[in-house]
Amino acid sequence: MRRATGRGRRGPSLLGTAARTAVVAGTATAVSGRVAAARSPQPPTGPPPGPPPAMVADGPIGIDELHAQLTKLGELRSAGLLTDAEFEAQKVRLLTS
């Protein structure tokens, strides 16, 4: 009696099962990646916002005003409205004025 190649009495070969599993896993990974990308918040488009008007200083400021502006910068960075680079630039600008 002759055996058929591929599918025997017990089902597909080990190689066929591994290939099918790889295809299913690859498809699942691709789909889950697209779902995760669709759920993630999109970055804002357009130019980044400049510093708030209260942050622009025309001359030397007092220590209380400096503390208030640095605190406000920290809050804006914590809220995600300023990047670390923007925060550092504004801090240097405040401390050198």
pLDDT digits (tens, 9 = 90+) for 21-77: 777 777 777 777 777 777 776 666 666 666 655 555 556 678 888 889 999 999 999
Distances (CA, A) of 79 to 27, 48, 83, 87: 37, 15, 10, 12
- Per the structure block, which two tokens stand in for 39? 């759920």
Whether 59 and 97 have beta carbons less than 8 Å apart is answered as: yes
Task: Tell me how many degrees the CA angle 59-65-71 measures, rounded to the nearest 5.
Answer: 120
The pLDDT of 4-20, averaged and rounded, is 66
